[in-house]
Amino acid sequence: MRPNEPIRIRLGEAGRLIVQLPYSSLDHVAKMKTLAGRRWHADGRYGTVPRIDDVISHLLTLFAGEPVKGEPSLRLNLRSRNILG
């Protein structure tokens, strides 16, 4: 992802969400490291977090003011916070 691209959230495997951050954003990486249960997948250049209650809300709080896009299945959660899915 390029620096001006949005943070992307989509469903992953086994109860996890995939979070793709804009390329080389050290601030975003530092924020991701604060999440319990997060994993970095270097081969795909993305992180995953457990899909637990309020995780999307927590991600949106961490990345407040940043553009965020979610896949259609997450649209309701994102729309409730005025973020486009």
Dihedral sign (CA 28, 34, 35, 40)? positive
Q: What is the pTM of this model?
A: 0.80
Q: What is the pLDDT of residue 24?
A: 62
Q: What is the pLDDT of residue 18?
A: 96
Listed in order, strand segments (DSSP E) in the chain are 7-11, 16-20, 39-41, 46-50, 68-70
Q: What is the pLDDT of residue 72?
A: 82
Going from the first residue of the chain to its last (85 residues), give the mean pLDDT of each consecutive group of 10, the final group possibly shorter.
76 93 80 92 90 87 88 62 46
- For 47-67, the pLDDT digits (tens) are 999 998 888 888 989 988 888
